[in-house]
Amino acid sequence: MENINSLFEKTYEKIKEAKAIVLISHVNPDGDALGSSLSMYTILKKMGKKVSVFNVTKPLPQYLDFLPNFNKVTNKLPDNFDLMISFDCGSFDRLGIEEKPKFLINIDHHISNTNYGDINIIDSNAASTSQVVYNFCKYNNIEIDKESAICMYTALVTDTGSFQYESVNEKVFLMATDMVRAGVDVAFISKMLFQRDRLSRLRLLAKAYDTIEMCCDGEAIFAHVTKEMMEITGAIKDDTDTIVNSLRAIRTVEIACMLREDDEGIKVSLRSKNYADVSKIAEALGGGGHVRAAGATIKGEFDFEKVKEILKEYITKALKENK
């Protein structure tokens, strides 16, 4: 890949030239997707740009509603714009739009990114896409205001599991320091993210835990969530997001796997703890992600048992590799 600094320069030039810019992130957005795209909103506004923040998903996850300018996010693309910048999205189809825009800048940290943009800034060593945005701002001497910092920091916290993952290093903490300097209230963001849980999520968690199945000598764990379980508990899709992380927390587990019955098929969420590469498993299933967190949606006539069977094969292989 081209030197990242020259990509930062080219991107800044493109932004300066553009009048109307669309900021877009992946379907079913997480904290990094919305945080990194919204972090550019105030920055571009201050540069005098017309800015739209787009996400195809509706409704958006409620737990992120405290992000500055959250209410600006729309699921309608403007008719005219000169530049689109995508955030945290590994492949074009996950943007949820039909046509390739005039010019697309793809900013991401997924190792599986398909380089679908006209400019691709992919840093798979970055802990979050917001860290790539932060590096872009630092390189170009762009001031990061408080609203932007709140978005960048939230993205960083959510994508590092609150600074717990292997992606966390000195650079991550230096960025966090800068965010606090810019006015981020750490306790406030923690409360917004982690102290506003829904009762329905806990009730769903109990049901999902009831489906737990271990395999591979305790190194792999499965659980699933059906549409019926969602209906009974009143849970929503967001409520399933972190279940897979808690499965991984079991002492013996290397790979955790959560299956969810969706309209489009079976959504598979994979996590690993120490060495297994789950991005490879997700890619084999038509999805993607990171080494420690990946996912895919399996479409067609499959039930949980069939999907588990397929997964067990891949998981057994992944557990043997890189050990």
Name the site residues for ligand 5GP (rule: CB under 6 A).
Answer: 26, 90-91, 94, 112, 269, 287-290, 293-297
| Contact between 92 and 100 (Cβ < 8 Å) | yes
Judged by beta carbon, residue 69 or residue 272, the one nearer ligand 5GP is 272
Residue 37 φ then ψ, to 5°: -70, -45
Judged by beta carbon, residue 25 or residue 42, the one nearer ligand 5GP is 25
Rounded-to-integer distance, Cα 70 and Cα 65, Å: 6
Judged by beta carbon, residue 235 or residue 289, the one nearer Mn ion is 289
Binding region for Mn ion (CB under 5 A) out of 90-98, 123-131, 144-152, 263-271: 123-131
- Please, what is the minimum distance in Å from the beta carbon of residue 295 to ligand 5GP? 3
| Contact between 144 and 41 (Cβ < 8 Å) | no
- Please, what is the minimum distance in Å from the beta carbon of residue 67 to ligand 5GP? 18
Rounded-to-integer distance, Cα 229 and Cα 205, Å: 10
Chain positions 70 to 89 lying near Mn ion, rule: CB under 5 A, are 88
Residue 107 φ then ψ, to 5°: -110, 120
- Please, what is the minimum distance in Å from the beta carbon of residue 50 to ligand 5GP? 28
- C-alpha distances in Å from residue 154, one per residue of 109, 131, 140, 142, 227: 16, 11, 22, 19, 30
| Contact between 24 and 97 (Cβ < 8 Å) | yes
Chain positions 157 to 216 lying near Mn ion, rule: CB under 5 A, are 159
Judged by beta carbon, residue 15 or residue 172, the one nearer ligand 5GP is 172
Judged by beta carbon, residue 140 or residue 297, the one nearer ligand 5GP is 297
Rounded-to-integer distance, Cα 64 and Cα 257, Å: 25
Chain positions 30 to 59 lying near Mn ion, rule: CB under 5 A, are 32
Binding site partner of 159, from Mn ion, ligand 5GP, none, Cβ cut-off 5-8 A by kind: Mn ion
Q: What is the CA radius of gyration of the chain?
A: 19
User: Which residues are near Mn ion by CB under 5 A?
Assistant: 32, 88, 129, 159
